[in-house]
Amino acid sequence: MLWTVCNKLVRDGVLDFINESGGKEEHHIADGPELDAAIANKLIEEAKELAEAIRRYVDGETGAIDEVRMEFGDLEDVMEAARRRVGLSVATIRATRKAKTAKLGAFTKKIFLERYILGSDDQS
């Protein structure tokens, strides 16, 4: 049998799944900068998987909505891990999101900005 190299953050139950299937695994508990990088990489991985699932759904692929639903859940779980890692409360994030939406709006108008020039010298 060949080893499959993962080197990534996985869900808590993955080791049980591997071992109950008669497989073998090697792991360690990530912490510090390694955990920070693993969470960041997992966020990117799950966001890409969600985007791909949405593309398949929009293209009319049968069953894609189920994949979209699962990928949204995966991304939310990783976002929750990231939130806990940096010590922010759900209430704080919601309040920040609400304030930003009040200032800049949401994404409901489907505006696709092609380019712009600022109207003043203030580039901040």
Q: Is the pLDDT of residue 123 over 60?
A: no
Helices 64-86 and 32-58 pack at an angle, to 10 degrees, of 160
Q: What is the pLDDT of residue 122?
A: 61
Residue 55 CA, chain-centre distance (Å), reads: 16
DSSP letters along 75-118, please? Answer: HHHHHHHHHHHHT--HHHHHHHHHHHHHHH--STT---------
Residue labelled with tokens 């080197």: 7
Each domain of the chain, given as residue ranges in start order, spans 14-104
Q: What is the pLDDT of residue 1?
A: 80
Residue 89's φ and ψ, nearest 5 degrees, are -85, 160
pLDDT digits (tens, 9 = 90+) for 20-59: 999 999 999 999 999 999 999 999 999 999 999 999 999 9
Mean pLDDT, residues 1-17: 95
pLDDT digits (tens, 9 = 90+) for 60-103: 999 999 999 999 999 999 999 999 999 999 999 999 999 999 99
pLDDT band at 120 (very low <50, low <70, confident <90, very high): confident
List all residues 6 or more positions away from 71 whose beta carbon is below 8 Å from its beta carbon. Answer: 46, 49, 50, 53
